[in-house]
Structure formats: C-alpha cells, structure tokens
Structure 1
Amino acid sequence: MKTSFLRVFWPESSTRIQGVIRFRWIAIVGLIFGAIPLLQVGYLQKTQMPYLMAVIALLALFNGLTQGIWSKPSASQESRILFVQLLVDLLAATGLLFASGSANNPFIFVLCIHAFLGGMLLRGYRSLSFGFLVLLLLSILQAETFQDAKITVNVDTREVFFNFLAQWTIIIVSWGVAYLFASLLEKQEERIRNLQERQLKADRLKSLGALAAGFSHQMATPLNALKLRVDRAARKSVSQPEIQAELADAQESLSECIAIFHQMAGVFSNSTGGDLQKIKVKPLLLDILKAWKQDHPSVNVETHFQEGDVVCEVQALALSQTLFDLLDNAAEASDFKETVSLRLFTEGQSLILEVVDLGKGLSKEVISRLGEPFITDKKHGNGLGIYSAQMAAQAMGGEFSLFNNKSGKGATARLLISMVAPQEG
C-alpha cells in the first residue's frame, strides 16, 4: 500500500518541476491548517489573516497555472522555469515571515528549506544567484527584527546578532550541502549511464559477433562448393578466353568472400575464447612488433615504452591479433609513408597501449559506431579489425577506444588493460 500510494503521489516519470508543484500543494495545505496555531501563539494577528489568505490564493492560482502550462518543459527551459518557481515560493514565504515576526518567527527555517532546494535543483550561476537572494531576503527580515529589538526594553543585542549569525550559517550550510550532494548524484548518474551504454554496446557487439560467426559457418560450405565448381569450369574453358576471364573474376570474388567469412569466424573465436594468462607485456609487444615489421619493412614505427615492466592477465593470441590489426590500420591510414607510434605506459592501476597514426583521421560515423563490423572509412576494409580489438578488450576485462588526435592529424587507438602487479627486476 505504501509503495502504491507513493507512486500515485510521485510517479517514476515525474520531472523536477512536477515535484515542486506537488510540494507546493503540500505547503498550501500546511499554511491553511497552520494558521490557527499561529493565531493562538500570537505570531499571526487576526488583521493579517486576509493577507495570509491572499498569499495562499495566489500560490494556489500560480500552482494551477504551472501544472497546466509548465509541468513538462523542454530540457533547455527546465532550469529557467525551476528558478522562477523557487523564486515565487521564496518571495511568498518571505512576505509571510515579514508579516508575522520576521527573523523572530520560529518558521524562519522555511528559508533553509528554500536554500536547500535551490542548491539541489538548480545548477551553476542560477543556483548561486538563488542562494544570494535567500541571504538578501533573510537580511531584510533580520533588519526589521533588529529595528524592533532596539525599541524593546531589556533586549541583549549580542544575543540577537548571535541568532542572526546562526541563521546565516544554517542557510549557507543548507545550500552548500545540497549543491555538493546534487553534484555527486549527477556524477554518479552519468557514470551509471556510461556503464549502461557500454554494457548495451558490448551486448550488441557480442550478438553481432555470434550472428556473424554462425552466418560465416553456414555460408562457408556452399561457397567452397561453388568455388570448386567455378574452378572446374575454368579448367574446361581453356579454349574460350572470354569465358575464362569472366570465371577468373568470379574465382577472385569468391576467394575474397570466403576469406571474409573465415576472418569473421576467426575474429569471434579468438576474441572470446582462450584463458587469460599472466604475461610480461613489454617483451610480448616487442615480439609482435618484430614479426609485424617483417611484413612491413618500409614502415617506420617509433616505440615509446615506459621504463620497467608490468604483468597483465591477457589472451596472448587475441592481443597479438589486435596489435597486428591496429598496426595495419595505422600504416594504411598513413599511406605507409608517415611514422606510426606505439606507446606503452601506466595510468593508475591500468596499462595503456596506444597506436598512433598521422593519417586523415576518422569520420564521425566510425567514431559514433565504434566496433560495429563493416563500419569503416577504408575503401577495401570491412571494419573487422576494430571489432576484434573491441571484443578482445572486453574479453580481457579492459577497454578499447578510438579517437582523432587533438593536433587535427591522424587518430589514436587505445587499449586499456588492468595490471596484475609491477614486475621487479
């Protein structure tokens, strides 16, 4: 029953403005029922009742209009409308306090609530401005109270000033705590959103990989059979040059299709299979680079390795294939003319491996759809190298990112892996 009642009062889809509207209705009801005890204790005179009723009526009218017009604003309007909403409540509360004891009214803590809401719901200069307005209005109330205290017999002004200082302190602390707490919540929500997006993308990539592996497995057999038939037809058409030329083109296309299907299946199996092994990363990278240089002797690769060595849990085969693909991509992006940089360094408890090229950089589509197969800027590429790097990073509990360099020339592929322990000696 409690949960259902709460959901009726505050549905999950409620905006911050809708929450303020609901709280204002509660405040209006509280003012109506609180008028009687205020009259009894003398903080509210009968002559002030019309003023109180007028304020309540105006708040109710404003709340009704807000509920119909501003309850669901656009994202760009929400902060501005929230500021207006809280300011109206603040002015109404200050007016009521001014008419019923000013700073001596025990309900002065209402300003603390407004300061807290301003720090919690508003951001940036609007929040600072609102906090300043709360203090300004408090000062007006305190000035009115001080004027009354000067003409009152046997009033200790030092005690009055101490109460004023306490009120200022409580309001400033209320605003500051709310602002800091809201900032922490925003950062936590952003972190949760990023983690959810990463998990969603990882699940989508795994699904694509499983689909690609199954599809390539199913298509490999008929394609191989078709290639055998084309090869047989090519041998029989030796005396017909025109037909043989067409069959030669068909053979080349079929071989390319079969290679792509095998690569798709191999990428998925290499990036998801295999046990993690504790390996010294730097010697492994040097061996991989040496093997890659044998096939690309003309490409200049600069290495920037941090001193010392670290041990990480990796899949050696997947890491080797990933580095081969990233070096291939960097060399191709640089037209095999510019220098490619291979960097290895630590950051906190993570090892970071970067491959940097000086090519034309990446398009927005490739960056926004990072890791999806067949999304590439290369004319004859298939995007499987980046997909392989993404899957390998996930399999090793790391992260993979790809971004354009700040210099405006080239791009950087970054692989982040958690370290096991520093290697001594």
Structure 2
Amino acid sequence: MMVGTVPLLQAGYLLREQLFYFMAVIALLAVFNGMTQGIWSKTSSAKEQSLLFVQLLVDLLAVTGLLFVSGSAANPFIFILTLHAFLGGMLLRTKRSYVFAAVILGLLAILQTETNKDLAVTINVNRSEMYFQFLFQWVVVIGAWFVAHLFSGLLEKQEERIRSLQNRQHRADRLKSLGALAAGFSHEMATPLNSLKLRLDRGVRKLGDPVAAHSEIQQAQMSLDECISIFQKMAGVFTSSATDGELQKLNIHSVLKDIVHSWEIDNKVTLHKEWTASQVYCRLQPLSFAQAVLDLLDNAKEASPTASEISLRVFENDQEVVIEIVDAGSGVSPEIIERLGEPFNTNKQNGNGLGVYSAMMTAQSMGGEFSLSNNTSGKGATARLSIPYEESV
C-alpha cells in the first residue's frame, strides 16, 4: 500500500488531504506487526494460532480501511485481499480459517457496496462490466483461500506422516541399539565374571595357604568391582534422561564454564580454552549434558600423553553451539569411527565404550549431533558436540 501511494494519488483514488492519515495507518500497522513479531518468540505453541489470527485480522481491517478511503473496490490494490485470503487459508487451522475467510468476504462486500454507491451518480457507467469485476474479485479471493486451505491440509497430513515415520525409525533405532547393547553387555560381563568364578575357585582350594588365598580373593574383588562399574555405567546411560526430567533453557556458556572448572580442579589439568562468553541459550538436560562433557574430557585425558595439551573450543555455527574437545593422542582407528555410537565400541584396554555412546544419546535427546574424527594434523582426535540454540541476548 505504501508503494502504491504515488500511483493512487496520480490516478485520483487517494486525495492529498488524506495522505497524512493514509501514511499514519501504514506506520501504525508496521509498528503493530513489529511488536507482535517480538511476542512470537515468547508465545507457547498452544497460543500461536490465536496470536496469528489476531495479527492477520488487524492487518486485514487496516488494509480494508485504507482501501475504503481510496476507491474501495475500484482501487487496483483491492487484490491485496487475495493475499490475506491466501495467508489465512495457509496459516490458520480449524474454525479460525473459515471465520477469517468469512470476514474477508464480508469486508469485500462492504467495499463493493461503497463502490456501487459512488458509481450510481456517475454518468455512462457500464453496470455489466462493473458487476463482472465484482464477481471476478469474489472468485479470485475465494479461490486463493480454497487453494491455500487445501494445500495447507495436505502439508499437515504429510507432516503427520513424516512424524509417524520418524517415530517408527526412532523405535527401530532404539531396538537396534538395545540389541547391540545387550550383545556388548554379555561380551563385557563374560570376562570379569569368568575371572571372578576362577579366582573364587582357586581361593577355596588354597584356604590352607592364607597368603595365596588372600591374593586370590583380592583378584576376585577386583573382578567384582569391574562388574559393578559396568552395571553402574549402563544404569547411568539409561536413566540419565529420566532423572533430568524435561529440557531446561539455560545459558550454555555458563553451564559449560562450571563443568570445565570442576573437571580441571579434580584432574589438576588446565585446558587450552577458545571461546567467548556470550548469552546463548539452549534446551539442555543439565545432568546428562554435564556427564557427557565430563566423559569426553576424561577420554581426551586418557588418550593424551602426560603433560600434553588438551583443547576445548566453543563457537556458534548455523544456529548451533559447537563444542569441540581436541586431544593429543594417537587418533581413533577407522573401525571405531565406522561403528561410532555403538555401545562397548572401544579400543582402550580398560574402556567400555559407554562414554561415547552416552554422549551421542545425550546430543540426540537435545536435538543435536555428536561426531568423532581424527585431526587433519595426523595427531590426536576431535570429539564434536553440536546443540541448537534458541536466541542470543
């Protein structure tokens, strides 16, 4: 409407004395749209449709008012109502879409009635051509709404189908992961349990020799501790999301700073950190996120030679916060990378592979991704955790 101000003045649809009020309405409409756009980010999904309906309705009423004072249905910009009909049919759902369509048609009828009154006193007016234009306007507006409403319904059904397929795939992945976890668990538990049984049997046979029996019992206790450690690690993987509850909107830099500081104190290691503290908020499960970062830092420390530098890089990339932990070890074998994310997938002598598995599950639960790759320098590996962020303040 603002772009068409000059042509409307030249064609006589808009009078110069109306120009101030015309531009004032456009300015107020722009302010209103800007304010409602700011409210969008703070509105729950349940109220989005109501806010959208009000926003479109205010736009429609303001534009109709501008058309009313600048030629009504004879104004060439009357087809801006078609745009509103299309948006209403596309964006609004259920009864709101039908109500909005009825409001548009009602306002169109008012504009056409006003135009008809103005032309009633005009000489040599072709009534048939005027009525044909009115009919054409109705057809275009109704057609735009109907096509958009139909297309929106098809998109909604397609989205439901995609969500259904994603849920099925997610369940299939969980079953596959559970099978791999069960197989790996059986394999991991077999060695310490066999060792525990063997040590106990030998300890019983050597009861006559207290020293030898004590040594065997100590070895049996170590095997038992290893079994307990595996059980606890598995319990942590499966219960972390349940104990965390819902995702919480937190400043990821603040949370990460506390986690890293605590790890540095406990391990007496100072990381080489590259990040700028900023107000970036992510939806996190605090406990599982902290555990994933701590596990990755522990892995980096174990993989790196003593006194070598471990780097931590945090940066923003394409609406995501990326956390990279770089070690100075010998890298990761292609077999490990190929089976990345499988439980008990490790080449460490005393490792169980559940740390990387837990990190991947944690990243996916927060809508992010996890990857592990060897550094291009040929020395060490990089664990990369990316999490989508919502806003920067």
TM-score by length of 1: 0.46
TM-score by length of 2: 0.49
